[in-house]
Amino acid sequence: MRNWISRQALLADYTLSALARRRGRNLALFTVYAGIVFVLASTMLFTHALRREAHALLAHSPEVLVQNLKAGRHAYLTQGDLDRLGRLRGVSRIEGRRWGYFFDPVFGATYTLMAPASESPGRGDLHVGDGVARVRGLSTGDTLALRSAAGELHVFTVKKVFSSESSLVAADLVLMHPADWEAFFQLPGGVFTDAALSVVNPLEVRSVARKIGERLPETRVILREEILRTYEALFDWREGLLLALASLAVAAFAILAWNQASGLSADERREIGILKAIGWDTRDVLTMKLWEGGLISGAAFSLGTLGAFVHVFHFEAALIVPVLKGWSVLYPRFVLTPSVDAVSLLTLGLLTVFPFTLATLVPAWRAAITDPDEVMRGTT
Amino acid sequence: MIFQKSILALLFASGVGAVGALAAGPHALAVWRHWDLESGSARQLRLERRSTLVSTGMALLLTVQSVALLLFVFNADRMASQFVGAMCAVGTLRVDGFGFPALLAQVAAFFGSSVWLTMNAVDGRCRDRPLTRARSALLLALIPVLLLAFGLELAFFLGLDANVITSCCGSLFSIQAPGVGGDLAALPPGQAMTATFLLLGGTAAVAARTVHRGQGGLALGVAGILAFAVALAGIVAFVSLYVYEDPHHHCPFCLLKPEYGYRGYAFYVPLLAATSAALAAAALAPFASARERGPASAGRVRSATRALAGVALGGFVLVLLLMAWQVASSGLKLLAHG
């Protein structure tokens, strides 16, 4: 074993000096290779971080949401509907929620206007998210005038601007008093956009959903696990599609690597001929060639992944954000928590290092079986 | 659902492995039929040259194939959140009819690949290449397995549909469930524990004897296969109960979940390593005799057999100790004295 290790160390040492002798060609290959790893790794790291954020956010959301439907369209729940839900075994809390969307034609942005049941602002006051404050140039104490659908102008005072740390959930949020909310949307008292139910035991969620369906057959029941599943599917699909497209680049790169490994220069042929003449066998030369590919792979993989980490977590993945994140006037600004998962790295290796190594194997073998006698005579 | 990074990587690895093995088939057949190291014919020289390429290429492909087994299982567990009714990898594997056959084919490909890789490594160290024909035969046998594994994997991933309501592990690994899962779950924990510990201990003893003598690989291979099957049965019958601290939860796949600290990998990785080492030792057994091979080659094969038996010994003992520790440290007490 010790012999084997020292033999590999010597081969690696020799290969490094051989790589340095052809640094121009190897540097070009390395740059393209690292660039491809960078794009794939950025995609993987970014979607992994988004997935984590979605899980962290939804961990605190209610397990079950109930929306009323009339003729298949969304309708408001009434206090009577909530009373009909009554007490359900396993449900620790039922809360009617008042919220709606308001399109601001001046700035082309949509706000979420919400009236929380508890800790709501006072009459005529607002708490606004940092996205709304940014777009409208608001700070605490400013007034905000909003024209309702009926054409009436409602003037509010901003009492609080949510910090940018809450941007992911509150960028477009405007909190107001329930009476202001009803007046702004011209709704009667005691109506709710939906109802949020907290279920203590996750195994009982489906049973609770079934019971709600029996008591309020017209309603639509949305489970937190379904929202999570949709997010998972969406992120996986976007990531997979981007990777599938990028795999064309990997294929093109593999062909480039094959070509480059096939086109041995006269110097390289002479070098292999001399090595074989002094006693190296085919396996030694092949191992040396594989070391060459391995060193380039290792360096490109490390640098590409490191670059992707910096790109995603320090520069907010500026190059791939439009494809993976979506777009909106009030898009939240948020900092992703740096995290790397082993499966992503393993997958990245399978999609980059593996094809490169395969692509260079046959040319490396062709080089390794070169007959020293023919090379010395210059007949190949 | 095929556009997912892990699925793309798995299909790529499996597809390239199958195509690579298929491409190496004609060479393997030629080696099997015409290999003669004594001959200086042009054909023999061609075979020797090509052998270097095929060995290196297949070593790369089969190594990746072996790693892909873990990724396949991990991915099945991770995808469980995307199917209604799935709690762990079992739910994902039961979304369509190809999940479990694909897993079994992957396991078969893993064992075949690991034995081939070992034979290839040992053969490379012997001057007279005693294993070349045998590993060519093994490669020929592996081709249908790798093609089947790829085909089943492709069918499984193409059949994944998020709208399918699948069934969770409770319906497969419970006392009432029909089939092997139900039968294993119904085993009395005390008897299953005794049988598992005895068989793992016995196999470790066989491995220790092989380490000492450098021979007896065949017996180790048979004992290894038995130990693998009994250890899996033991995991369903009693280990899972102690891990979940629930006398009715028998699932061997929930062990892989993060909420149980990925403990399943601590059981399965040494178990797979030990079993494949035992199988490889069995594959080397016919070449360990100095009467049929040169003394130098036989010596190298015996030394490799010792090393493999050492791996098997370490793996089976580790699994046994982990199981015992799990039983001792669990809050669940199933046995009167446990």
pLDDT in tens, B170-192: 888 888 888 888 888 888 888 99
Q: Which of B1, B2, B4, B5 to mutate to test the interface with A (most CBs of A within 10 A)?
A: B5
Q: Give A368's contacts in chain B (Cβ within 8 Å).
A: 52
Q: How far apart are CA A54 and CA A52, in angstroms?
A: 5
Residue A304 has pLDDT above 50, yes or no: yes
Computed from CA positions of residues A167, A168, A174, A177, in that sequence, does the dihedral angle turn out positive or negative?
A: negative
Q: Does A369 contact B52 at a Cβ distance shorter than 8 Å?
A: yes
Contact B98, B158 (CB under 8 A): no
Contact B250, B241 (CB under 8 A): yes
Domain count across chain B: 2
Residue A15 has pLDDT above 60, yes or no: yes
Q: Give A241's contacts in chain B (Cβ within 8 Å).
A: 3
pLDDT of residue A184: 92
Residue B183 sits in the same domain as residue B130 = no
- Token pair for B255: 């062990």
Contact of A222 with chain B, judged by CB distance below 8 Å, is answered with: no
In this prediction, residue B156 has a pLDDT band, given cuts at 50, 70 and 90, of: very high
Residue B116 sits in the same domain as residue B14 = yes
Residues of B in CB contact (< 8 Å) with A are 1-9, 12-13, 16, 49, 52-53, 56-57, 60-61, 64, 67-68, 71, 74-75, 78, 81-84, 124, 162
What is the overall mean pLDDT for chain A? 85
What proportion of chain B, given as a percentage, has pLDDT over 90?
64
In this prediction, residue A359 has a pLDDT band, given cuts at 50, 70 and 90, of: confident
Residue A13 has pLDDT above 90, yes or no: no
Q: Does A225 contact B81 at a Cβ distance shorter than 8 Å?
A: yes
Q: How far apart are CA B53 and CA B120, in angstroms?
A: 12
Residue B195 sits in the same domain as residue B251 = yes
Chosen domain end from B167, B202, B221: B167
Chosen domain end from B167, B193, B216: B167
Q: Give B57's contacts in chain A (Cβ within 8 Å).
A: 358, 361
Average pLDDT over residues A168-177: 85
Contact A271, B30 (CB under 8 A): no
Residue A338 has pLDDT above 90, yes or no: no
Q: Does A229 contact B3 at a Cβ distance shorter than 8 Å?
A: no
- Token pair for B135: 């590993």
Query: Closest to A346 (Cβ–Cβ): which among B4, B7, B71?
Result: B71
Q: What is the CA radius of gyration of chain B?
A: 22
Contact A223, A63 (CB under 8 A): yes
Q: How far apart are CA B106 and CA B112, in angstroms?
A: 10
Q: Does A361 contact B1 at a Cβ distance shorter than 8 Å?
A: no
Contact A364, A301 (CB under 8 A): no
Residue B157 sits in the same domain as residue B181 = no
- Token pair for A260: 């480059």
Residue B144 sits in the same domain as residue B200 = no
In terms of CA atoms, which chain A residue is nearest residue B87? Answer: A203
Q: How far apart are CA A305 and CA A307, in angstroms?
A: 5
Q: What amino acid occupies position A38?
A: F
Closest to B104 measured CA to CA, from B278, B221, B229, B195: B229
The CA-based angle B214-B219-B223, given to 5 degrees, is: 120
**d(CA A247, nearest CA chain B) in Å:** 10
Contact B245, B190 (CB under 8 A): no
**d(CA B209, nearest CA chain A) in Å:** 23
A3 vs A7, A8, A13, A288, B124, CA distance in Å? Answer: 6, 9, 15, 16, 15
What distance, in Å, lies between the first and last C-alpha atoms of chain A?
A: 37
Q: Report the range of poorest mean pLDDT among A51-55, A206-210, B47-51.
A: A51-55
Contact B285, B241 (CB under 8 A): no
Q: Which of A58, A225, A347 to mutate to test the interface with B (most CBs of B within 10 A)?
A: A347
**d(CA A84, nearest CA chain B) in Å:** 28
Contact of A8 with chain B, judged by CB distance below 8 Å, is answered with: no
Q: How far apart are CA A285 and CA B3, in angstroms?
A: 39
Query: Closest to B52 (Cβ–Cβ): which among A44, A350, A365?
Result: A365
Length of chain A as a residue count: 380
Q: Does A286 contact B56 at a Cβ distance shorter than 8 Å?
A: yes
In this prediction, residue B337 has a pLDDT band, given cuts at 50, 70 and 90, of: low
Tell how far CA A333 is from the center of its chain.
15
pLDDT of residue B304: 92
In terms of CA atoms, which chain A residue is nearest residue B2? Answer: A240
Q: Give A236's contacts in chain B (Cβ within 8 Å).
A: 1, 3-5, 82
Query: Closest to B8 (Cβ–Cβ): which among A244, A355, A361?
Result: A244
Residue B205 sits in the same domain as residue B289 = yes
Q: Going by C-beta distance under 8 Å and a sequence separation of 6 or more, which residues neighbour residue B19?
A: none
Q: What is the per-residue pLDDT across B209-250, written as a single tens digit (0 to 9) for each?
A: 999 988 889 999 999 999 999 999 999 999 999 999 888 889
Q: Does B6 contact A354 at a Cβ distance shorter than 8 Å?
A: no
Residue A166 has pLDDT above 70, yes or no: no
Contact A219, A69 (CB under 8 A): yes
pLDDT of residue B107: 96
Q: Does A343 contact B78 at a Cβ distance shorter than 8 Å?
A: yes
Contact B23, B50 (CB under 8 A): no
**d(CA B134, nearest CA chain A) in Å:** 21
pLDDT of residue B317: 97
Residue B190 sits in the same domain as residue B333 = yes
Q: Give A232's contacts in chain B (Cβ within 8 Å).
A: 81-82
Residue A379 has pLDDT above 80, yes or no: no
Residue B212 sits in the same domain as residue B85 = no
More confident residue, B71 or A259: B71
Q: What is the per-residue pLDDT across B281-320, written as a single tens digit (0 to 9) for each?
A: 999 998 877 565 566 778 889 999 999 999 999 999 999 9
Contact of A57 with chain B, judged by CB distance below 8 Å, is answered with: no
**d(CA B54, nearest CA chain A) in Å:** 10
Q: Give A346's contacts in chain B (Cβ within 8 Å).
A: 9, 67, 71
Sorted by where each starts, the structural domains of chain A and their CATH numbers stand as 10-58+230-377 (no CATH), 77-192 (2.40.40.20)
Average pLDDT over residues B147-160: 95
Length of chain B as a residue count: 338
**d(CA A78, nearest CA chain B) in Å:** 30
Q: Does B67 contact A243 at a Cβ distance shorter than 8 Å?
A: no
Residue A33 has pLDDT above 50, yes or no: yes
pLDDT of residue B3: 80
- Token pair for A273: 């001929």
Q: Does A282 contact B52 at a Cβ distance shorter than 8 Å?
A: yes
Contact of A344 with chain B, judged by CB distance below 8 Å, is answered with: yes
Residue B89 sits in the same domain as residue B222 = no
Beta-carbon neighbour count of residue A355 at 10 Å? Answer: 20
Residue B146 sits in the same domain as residue B178 = no
pLDDT of residue B338: 44
pLDDT of residue A277: 83
What proportion of chain A, given as a percentage, has pLDDT over 70?
93
Residue B214 sits in the same domain as residue B153 = no
- DSSP per-residue codes, B231-253: HHHHIIIIIHHHHHT-TT---SS
Residue B139 sits in the same domain as residue B178 = no
Chosen domain end from B136, B167, B198: B167
Computed from CA positions of residues A249, A254, A257, A259, in that sequence, does the dihedral angle turn out positive or negative?
A: negative
Name residue, tokens 């009323």. Answer: A68
**Residue B75 domain boundaries:** 1-167
Q: What is the per-residue pLDDT across A239-262, written as a single tens digit (0 to 9) for each?
A: 888 888 888 888 888 888 887 777
pLDDT of residue B188: 87
pLDDT of residue A72: 86
